[in-house]
């Protein structure tokens, strides 16, 4: 049956009244140092505690909760650490209601006050309506906003208009260890009956204008090793009579991309989707203040001067980034070493319709060609260590309409329809394994600083975001009336 008149107003009023309690819960969750990146027993205990707290919260909402043990993680140094359980929770099973599955993660990036935080990273601290703390926006705040929306219906003794499933993990920042296997295993059990999948693990491109995300780039990550021998050399004793590995590597890395950002690997642009006039128009309406973005990023000049070009080069063209060199001398001082073995690391962000194995062949072929022309006596080995495909959704899927309507109700504006230049592998995994509509519904503002020092979520985003999810449930239900 249709929701009672005035329900939306009551839900919003309740969320406004409860906002301090909702912020307090976020504070409690941020206080748990659930860092999945630093593989220490202490952080793993914190992660397991985080998952237990979340499971308990969901149980208290009446959900049936399964904390799935996925075993342990073997680290390269021989250490074995437990993988925090993945939470599979279900609330409601009304046969006439749509079922929406929400994915989120409760692990965080490392954070220490000494890294340049202005407040304690694990103490949620409010300054001018900004809630600073590690995990505030990535991703504890959005997970709690979803839970706040559910608890609001319950507090008002209103029937939830949708069946809800939660999949919450604790290893996202460490590569979502064991998640894909679990999704595959649960395809016909937990995920059966799921109509829609929603992820809220990215940001708007604006400070104030909400967004819906329908695509992300993928990533192919490479290592290129150049080796003469396993030990370093003295450059007074060997300098001038060797092919130096670092000189080879610098030439190899220098052959990858030119100063305008154009990738120099032959064939790399062959499969990039061609740009249509219709698509070009999409970029014009996006609310990105390029000057503000450039200034707040402390960058003197971007490679492109217009908003449209910048967005296209973040979302729909590949990019090549050089990340580092293992084995290089990188300390202060003037050590006169010649490294005997160095490993360069770079990655290429993939866009529709690029394919990671084709890119792998192109990269290897190009580097072998450059290396052979140097006539070096060193050995070169290239490996693709990660091949994550891009994700793109159909924005005509009905949940996109529900999200747009809910955004209009809560924020009084149409959303920016955006893509994300980074990679959220789970979106593509869900799309391929479950075969249902996937959408990203971010809550955080462009300046939230995920992964950075002074990460924050605005109180406004967190509270209006909780309303957004409540309104979204009602809109989804309307699609199925």
Q: In this structure, what DSSP letter does residue 373 have? A: H
Helix (H, G, I), strand (E, B) or coil at 437: strand
* Smallest distance, ligand LO2PE3EW to C-beta of residue 100, A: 21
**Alpha carbons 348 and 422: distance in angstroms, whole number:** 11
Here's the x/- map for ligand LO2PE3EW, 66-105, by CB under 6 A: it reads as ----------------------------------------
**Alpha carbons 248 and 238: distance in angstroms, whole number:** 16
* Interacting residue with ligand LO2PE3EW among 263, 268, 325, 424 (CB under 6 A): 424
107 belongs to the catalytic site: yes
Contact in structure between 341 and 229 (CB atoms under 8 Å)? yes
Q: In this structure, what DSSP letter does residue 139 have? A: I
Q: Is 376 in the site for ligand LO2PE3EW (CB under 6 A)?
A: no
Would you say 234 is a known binding-site residue?
no
Task: Answer with the entry of Zn ion, ligand LO2PE3EW, none that 139 interacts with (C-beta below 5 to 8 A by kind).
Answer: Zn ion
Find the catalytic residue in 33, 46, 169, 172: 172
Please spell the DSSP secondary structure of 70-114, one letter per residue.
--EEE-TTS-EEEPPPEEEEEE---TTS-EEEEEEE--B----GG
**Alpha carbons 2 and 428: distance in angstroms, whole number:** 34
Following CA atoms 237, 241, 247, 252 in sequence, which dihedral angle do they give, to the nearest 10 degrees?
-150
Site for ligand LO2PE3EW, residues 441 to 460, rule: CB under 6 A: 450
CB-based burial label for 174 (10 Å; 0-12, 13-18, 19+)? middle
Find the catalytic residue in 33, 46, 90, 107: 107
Site for ligand LO2PE3EW, residues 220 to 259, rule: CB under 6 A: 221
**Alpha carbons 275 and 405: distance in angstroms, whole number:** 28
Task: Answer with the entry of Zn ion, ligand LO2PE3EW, none that 219 interacts with (C-beta below 5 to 8 A by kind).
Answer: ligand LO2PE3EW
CB-based burial label for 175 (10 Å; 0-12, 13-18, 19+)? middle
Contact in structure between 393 and 431 (CB atoms under 8 Å)? yes
* Smallest distance, ligand LO2PE3EW to C-beta of residue 314, A: 12
- The residues binding Zn ion (CB under 5 A) are 138-139, 201
Q: Is 423 in the site for ligand LO2PE3EW (CB under 6 A)?
A: yes
* Smallest distance, ligand LO2PE3EW to C-beta of residue 3, A: 33
Q: Is 213 in the site for ligand LO2PE3EW (CB under 6 A)?
A: no
Would you say 305 is a known binding-site residue?
no
368 belongs to the catalytic site: no
Identify which of residues 169 and 201 has a Cβ nearer to Zn ion in the complex: 201
Triad 394, 262, 225: Cα angle to 5°: 100
Task: Answer with the entry of Zn ion, ligand LO2PE3EW, none that 386 interacts with (C-beta below 5 to 8 A by kind).
Answer: ligand LO2PE3EW
Residue set of the binding site for Mn(2+)? 105, 138, 173, 201, 451
Contact positions vs ligand LO2PE3EW (CB under 6 A): 201-202, 219, 221, 386, 388, 422-424, 450
């Amino acid at each position: 049956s249709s929701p009672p008149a005035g329900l939306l107003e009551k839900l919003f009023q309740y969320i406004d009244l409860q906002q301090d309690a909702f912020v307090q819960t976020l504070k409690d969750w941020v206080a748990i140092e659930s860092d999945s990146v630093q593989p220490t027993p202490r952080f793993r205990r914190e992660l397991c505690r985080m998952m237990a707290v979340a499971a308990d919260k969901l149980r208290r909402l009446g959900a049936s909760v399964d904390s799935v043990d996925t075993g342990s993680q073997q680290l390269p140094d021989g250490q074995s650490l437990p993988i925090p359980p993945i939470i599979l929770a279900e609330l409601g099973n009304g046969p006439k209601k749509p079922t929406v599955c929400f994915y989120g993660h409760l692990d965080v990036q490392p954070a220490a006050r000494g890294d340049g935080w202005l407040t304690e990273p694990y103490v949620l601290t409010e300054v001018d309506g900004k809630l600073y703390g590690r995990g505030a926006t990535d991703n504890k705040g959005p997970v709690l906003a979803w839970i706040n929306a559910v608890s609001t219906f319950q507090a008002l003794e209103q029937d939830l208009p949708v069946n809800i499933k939660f999949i919450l993990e604790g290893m996202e920042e460490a590569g979502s260890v064991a998640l894909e296997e679990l999704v595959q295993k649960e395809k016909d059990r937990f995920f059966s009956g799921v109509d829609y999948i929603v992820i809220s693990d990215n940001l708007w491109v604006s400070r104030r204008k909400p967004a819906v995300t329908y695509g992300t780039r993928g990533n192919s990550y490479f290592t290129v090793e150049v080796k003469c021998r396993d030990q370093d050399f003295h450059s007074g004793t060997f300098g001038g009579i060797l092919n130096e590995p670092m000189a080879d590597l610098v030439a190899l890395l220098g052959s990858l991309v030119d100063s305008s950002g154009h990738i120099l690997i032959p064939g790399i642009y062959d499969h990039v989707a061609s740009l249509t006039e219709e698509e070009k128009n999409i970029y014009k309406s996006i609310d990105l203040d390029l000057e503000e973005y450039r200034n707040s990023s402390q960058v003197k000049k971007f490679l492109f001067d217009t908003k449209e070009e910048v967005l296209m080069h973040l979302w729909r063209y590949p990019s090549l980034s050089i990340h580092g060199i293992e084995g290089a001398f990188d300390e202060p001082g003037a050590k006169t070493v010649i490294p005997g073995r160095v490993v360069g690391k770079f990655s290429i962000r993939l866009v529709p319709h690029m394919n990671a194995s084709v890119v792998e062949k192109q990269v290897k072929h190009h580097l072998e060609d450059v290396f052979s022309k140097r006539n070096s006596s060193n050995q070169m080995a290239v490996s693709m260590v990660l091949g994550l495909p891009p994700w793109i959704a159909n924005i005509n899927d009905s949940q996109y309409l529900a999200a747009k309507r809910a955004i209009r109700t809560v924020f009084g504006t149409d959303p920016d329809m955006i893509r994300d230049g980074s990679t959220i592998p789970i979106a593509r995994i869900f799309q391929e394994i479950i075969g249902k509509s996937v959408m990203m519904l971010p809550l955080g503002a462009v300046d939230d600083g995920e992964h950075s020092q002074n990460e924050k979520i605005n109180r406004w985003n967190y509270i209006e975001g909780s309303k957004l999810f409540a309104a979204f449930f009602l809109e989804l239900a309307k699609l199925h009336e």
